[in-house]
Amino acid sequence: MTTRLASIMQERGLSQLRLRVLTGLARQTITEAFHGRSVSLETKLKIAEALDVPPNELWPETAEVLARVVVG
């Protein structure tokens, strides 16, 4: 199964190395996100910002989490 992150990166010709440079995240963290493994909300936000997309476009469940943070 291809993750939305992997699809966007492929569409943009963006390597994991380039995403590491853009986000400042560790290689293992980028690899985990790329393969759909669990990563922190902070990591999701950094990746989404680097790709200039809303976090919920990459991880739909983040919309609910962010709503709780903003409201709570």
**Choice between 62 and 25, residue whose per-residue pLDDT is larger:** 25
Q: What's the CA dihedral at 39, 40, 46, 50 to 10 degrees?
A: 20
The residue ranges of every structural domain in the chain are: 4-71
Contact assessment for residue 9 and residue 19, using Cβ atoms and an 8 Å cutoff: yes
Site of tokens 């990746």? 47
pLDDT of residue 72: 53
pLDDT tens column, 3-56: 999 999 999 999 999 999 999 999 999 999 999 999 999 999 999 999 999 999
Answer yes or no: CATH 1.10.260.40 is held by domain 4-71: yes
Q: What one-character-per-residue DSSP string does 1-59 give?
A: ---HHHHHHHHHT--HHHHHHHH---HHHHHHHHTT----HHHHHHHHHHHTS-HHHH-
**Choice between 29 and 71, residue whose per-residue pLDDT is larger:** 29
